[in-house]
Amino acid sequence: MIARFMAGKLAEMENNFKSWMASPISKIFIGTNLVFAVLFLVSVPSFVKEYITQDAVSIGGKKYDLSDVKDSSPIAYSKFQSEYKALLKNTFGEFAQDKLFELVAKDKNIKPSEVLNEGLVLREPSEEEILNVYMSNKAQLGGKSLAETKDKIVGFLKNQQEQEHSRNKYREIITKYPVDFLIKEPESIRVTVDEKNNPSMGPKDAKITVIEFSDFECPFCKRSQDVNRQLREKYKGQIRWVFRDFPLPFHQDAMYAHMAANCSIEEGKYWDVFNVLFDNSGNLSKSNVDSLVLKTGLSKDKYQTCMKDQSKLKSEIDADIQDGQKVGVSGTPAFFINGIFVSGALPFENFDEIIQKELKQ
């Protein structure tokens, strides 16, 4: 978990640095305020009956509580649990962070605000380090020379030192003062989602089936593909992945791209087309889609013949959209892991945690 935290903070610093390069008035310093919650994966709370029935809505004089939401709309209830989990994680995390800093500060007779910077001695970055940062970000510099940006680069590199020092301090703290989140696991909310003979990869008898509703033009869907590939690689032979069309109405080029992809199924080129469309997600004009699809080796005659029957293609895609809406899909990407709903382009760990639990059952 520390490794994931470190990687995330480094990525955050890099993004902040690039943002500054684009806008001279931006501040480059990220600060040393750490969000404690990200260091831990905690469980979703399990709501006992006396709590689940406290909050309610009255409709026409009849009272409905969360147990009714759970029965009639399991996806809505699942989203509620996820949002409650995030809120609870942040609340406990911030509380724990403050308490940890108080404990350390008392032990060392310093202020809580000084805990992470205790013992910090910044060194001057080498000329080589400065040059490496300059060359790596030269495209975003807008023609500025190394001399013009050197002071800011030095500040950025020193900030990296501060962040590394803070992370090391945090390791020491959580080793000396272990933190356990005493939160009960909830029951898994599952819904039945049909595959409907849609494109898939992985064995049919796999213990894990992931059904993805996605949109070739959706930037979040494109971002999720890296995580999806990691999951398929890690659980190769144990996971079956099914793709269902869900082009969003405000993505004007998405429907055509999905039609084109479906025209590649018969020739066994679907996943090749799938990859090339997501790789070019920001440029899916009809002419470019046609060009991209044919570059995968698809027969031009067969492709053009298939694309002529657009009413049939759209009908199949609309059926996917309707099936998704029936089980609570309202945006993309949306996933069902053995019927457990996961919404959005979430980190690898979120999916991995669910899959690990499913494999143990």
- The torsion angles phi and psi of 22, rounded to 5 degrees, stand at -75, -25
At residue 26, the pLDDT reads 35
DSSP track, 245-301? E---TT-TTHHHHHHHHHTTTTTT-HHHHHHHHHHTTT---HHHHHHHHHHTT--HH
Q: Which residues contact residue 46 at a Cβ distance below 8 angstroms, ignoring those fewer than 6 apart?
A: 184, 185, 186, 187
The domain spans of the chain are 1-43, 96-176, 200-360
CB within 8 Å of 148: residues ≥ 6 apart: none
| Nearest-angstrom CA–CA distance, 359 and 361 | 6
Report, as an integer, the average pLDDT of 49-76.
Answer: 82
Four-residue CA torsion sign, 241, 247, 253, 259 = positive
User: How many other β-carbons are positioned within 10 Å of the β-carbon of residue 194?
Assistant: 13
Rounded Cα distance, 41 and 112, in Å: 25
312 is written with which tokens?
């049939």
pTM of the predicted protein model: 0.64
> Is CATH 3.40.30.10 the classification given to domain 200-360?
yes
Name the region of 210 (left: φ>0; alpha: ψ -120 to 50; beta: rest): beta
* Residue 43 to residue 215: CA distance in whole angstroms: 30
Nearest CA-CA partner of 13 in 188, 156, 117: 156
Query: Which pLDDT score, from 0 to 100, does residue 306 have?
Result: 96
Is residue 19 over pLDDT 80?
no
Q: What is the pLDDT of residues 175-187, one digit of tens each?
A: 999 988 887 767 7
Given pLDDT bands bounded at 50, 70 and 90, which one contains residue 53?
low
pLDDT digits (tens, 9 = 90+) for 313-326: 999 999 999 999 99
Q: Helix 254-262 and helix 300-308: axis angle, to 10°? A: 120
264-289 average pLDDT score = 96
The predicted structure's pLDDT at residue 93: 87
pLDDT band at 74 (very low <50, low <70, confident <90, very high): confident
- Contact present, 91 and 45 (Cβ < 8 Å): no
Average pLDDT (235-252) is 97
Handedness of CA 277, 280, 283, 287 (dihedral sign): negative
